Amino acid sequence: MNKYMPGWSALLLLLAGLAAETMAAERDPVVDYRIQARLDAAKKRVEGNLRLVWRNPSGDSVPDLWFHLYLNAFKNNRTTFYKESGGVLRRDRMSGEHWGWVDITSMRLADGTDLLRGLTFEHPDDDNAEDQTVARVALPSPVGPRQDIALDIAFTSQLPEVFARTGFKGEFFMGAQWFPKIGVYEPAGVRDRKSGGWNCRQFHAHSEFYADFGHYRVDLAVPSSFVVGATGTETSRKDNGDGTTTYTFEQSDIHDFAWTADPRFVKLQRSFSGRADVTAGEYRQAADLLGRSPEELLLSDVAIILLIPPAHLPQADRIFEGARLGLKYYGLWYGRYPYPVLTVVDPPFGATGAGGMEYPTLITAGTSWLLNRWPFDRIRAPEMVTVHEFGHQFWYGMVGNNEFEEAWLDEGINSYSTGKVMEKGYGRDATLIDFLGLRLGEEDMIRLQNGPWMRYDAILQPSWKYRSNSYSFYSYTKPEIALRTLENFLGEPAMARILRAFFERFRFRHPGSRDFFRTAEEVAGRDLDWFFRQAIEGHAVLDYGVSGLSTEKVPPFRGVMDHPSRGRITVGSGQNEGRGKDREPEAAAEEIYDNRFTVQRHGDFVFPVEVEYKIQGQPPVRLSWDGSGRWIEYRFPGKAPLEWARVDPEYKVLLDVDWNNNWVRARADRKAAAKWSAQWLYWMQNLICLLGS
């Protein structure tokens, strides 16, 4: 029973219902797709027709249309995708026997004018004339400012054996990027663009997708034995009398459409409730964090559909739990999930190439039968993948950044968000693993991937221009580390409000990195250019360390002293100058220590840091350093010796590539060494027992 008073609960019930009706839709849709498609399960092929209505979003007259033909990336070993990837993506290898492609067999204006004869393949990113993933179509007359154009397109899509998010494996089908898809015409000002023009990149090894928002209605005919899931809400289902069934799915305010089908899927359905799954206390806590009222944060109900192979059924509860965590915390922190349904697809054995991917209202998870069993059921991969892919409904799904050119805006922000949600659900030190005495949290995992050798690329650059095998680090991991560092610098409330504002301002729009920078500075109320310039746009390595720590007794005074009343005397020797005794003995003064240490900036990244030291018998003293110099020395006498000194004492600066040099002691701490040795021995004992069982 809720501990809060019944009146508050009743108010939540009322306002949550109202919130479902008041979510602002996209005001100015650019595209409308009406697709009729039929799957030939034997040939692994889709025959389709689509009516596309495109609205010119700019004040320009546009003389041509550009299209993505993504499936042509799998047409042969001469495509840009294949050359860059070598036919390998995320440790999954492309089949050399089942190629994929898409042919446009007809393209006409609504009045019947043939456009196909004017189609050419373009290569905006390289000089690979054999790449056919981008097509340009010249128009008989330009599309005027804010005017519409309607096209009728017939196409054939041959699906490859599942690879790079799309294709088939046996009777499993994942239809992703499967139809001719118009590019994005960016008006001047969008993403700081100086003049309007098409943004339609080739399909690269590490790039994902970029498209305009609008409305989709898709009629998909498949063999009647298949279980089907797709983007949007299923609005009708028709038995065609020929062994096939046509499913109709529809959704507005999205920029892509994907589907899946498999006769072996088990379909489960549960729900997320903005009333039952979020307590009044959680609404209040989020409201306090964001500086909003609880009423502004109320979440609506969502149907969660899971399509899962029978072998993975023991993990169904875990996937549902991940989906609920995502709906809850992304909703509370950033904004309500506006769609009535979320479909989660768990690909079967052999189809991992389709896993771990996001499409509007449909995500693919990724798990294994091994994770059904102890102790591997304590590895939280199913939950984490589900949370992460759901999170892309926000960062990419609604805030539609250009994943070709600024992947960090979705992958990086979403990785940061995923980690925060997992910490809420499972604790900071056990977000990923919690078994056999081993606990691994998000911060531990991402810091393990960072180091002084990771200095070759900047976060902000086109995805196909990263150094080989570094896309993941610079698009996912380093941005997450940078955002966590920024949060620790600004404070959790400021960071939460920055992300909330960014989401609200750019929902159903196309922001660029500088839109994020400007939002952050405005919400935080301070200049952050120095941070973004180094962390996101630059290559600088951040590393501060302590060195040169020493603590030595100051010897008693010896030598010549000018005494105010006795004149010049010599202390500590047999000689004598001036009046007084022939010899002045050494004074029995109290012990004084000369304590000193140096903080060094080993990298080029300048960041303000805290410095802390401790004198024996006294509480620690904390100082601040702007970090701008190459080094700073702290030197001070004291009546007791210096025990230790450290930089960044609370480990807030996650971008620091080497925490091992942050702390120096005057004497070695044997207790710490014994503690780590005991932990290592415990882990090794458990590993031996596990392997021997």
Q: pLDDT of 282-321, one tens digit each?
A: 999 999 999 999 999 999 999 999 999 999 999 999 999 9
Give mean pLDDT, residues 211-225: 98
CATH code of 553's domain: 2.60.40
Whichever domain contains 241, its CATH number is 2.60.40.1730
Query: Which of 256, 283, 306 is a domain's end point?
Result: 256
Q: Which domain holds residue 524?
A: 422-533
- Residue 631 in any domain: the answer is yes
Number of domains in the chain: 3
Residues 512 and 571 in one domain: no
pLDDT per position as a tens digit, 4-49: 223 333 333 333 343 433 444 445 799 999 999 999 999 999 999 9
Same structural domain for residues 33 and 157?
yes
Residue 603 and residue 496 share a domain: no
Residues 561 and 483 in one domain: no
**Mean pLDDT for the chain?**
89
452 inside domain:
yes
- Answer yes or no: is 204 within a domain: yes
> Would 34 be classed as within a structural domain?
yes
Inside any domain, residue 555: yes
Average pLDDT of span 643-668: 94
Q: What's the CA gap between 662 and 652, in Å, rounded?
A: 12
Tens digits of per-residue pLDDT, 124-182? 999 999 999 999 999 999 999 999 999 999 999 999 999 999 999 999 999 999 999 99
507 and 554 in a single domain? The answer is no
Q: For 273-354, list the strands marked E by DSSP.
A: 302-308, 341-345
- Evaluate if residue 556 carries a pLDDT over 70: yes
For 605-640, what is each residue's pLDDT tens digit? 999 999 999 999 999 999 999 999 999 999 989 899
Helix or strand (DSSP H, E) at 611 = strand 609-615
CA distance linking residue 157 with residue 351, whole number of Å: 19
Domain contains 675: no
One domain, residues 551 and 647: yes
Which ranges of 359-467 would DSSP assign to H, the alpha helix?
A: 381-391, 413-426, 442-448
Instruction: Assign 451 a pLDDT band (cuts: 50, 70, 90).
Output: confident
Residue 467: per-residue pLDDT? 84
Domain boundary (202, 227, 256) is at 256
- Kindly state the tokens that stand for 84: 């860059």
Q: Does residue 377 form part of some domain?
A: no
pLDDT, position 378: 81
Within this chain, do residues 510 and 649 fall inside the same structural domain, yes or no?
no
Q: 484: alpha, beta or left, given left = phi > 0 and alpha = psi -120 to 50?
A: alpha
Question: How far is 183 from 187, CA to CA, in rounded Å?
Answer: 13
Q: Which of 144-148, 370-374, 401-405, 628-632 has the lowest mean pLDDT?
A: 370-374
Q: Quick check: helix, strand or coil at residue 464? A: helix
Q: What is the pLDDT of residue 584?
A: 54
**Range from 76-80, 85-89, 675-679 carrying the lowest mean pLDDT:** 675-679
Same domain, 489 and 568: no
Please check whether residues 588 and 439 belong to one and the same domain: no
Does 554 lie in the same domain as 528? no
Residues 501 and 566 in one domain: no
Q: Does residue 413 form part of some domain? A: no
- The residue ranking higher by pLDDT, 210 or 366, is 210
Q: How confident is the model at residue 369 (pLDDT cuts 50, 70, 90)?
A: confident
What angle is formed at CA 148 by the lines to CA 140 and CA 193, rounded to 5 degrees? 90
In sequence order, what E strands does 176-323 have? Answer: 181-182, 184-186, 197-199, 214-223, 227-230, 233-239, 244-254, 259-262, 266-272, 302-308
The confidence band for 88, taking pLDDT boundaries of 50, 70 and 90, is confident
pLDDT of 669:
52
Mean pLDDT of 470-485: 96
pLDDT over threshold 60, residue 678: no
Return the pLDDT at 289. 98
- Whether the CA torsion 132, 138, 143, 144 is positive or negative: it is positive
Cβ-contact 243, 224 below 8 angstroms: yes
Is there a single domain that holds both residue 107 and residue 236?
yes
Of 511, 533, 555, which residue constitutes the final position of a domain?
A: 533
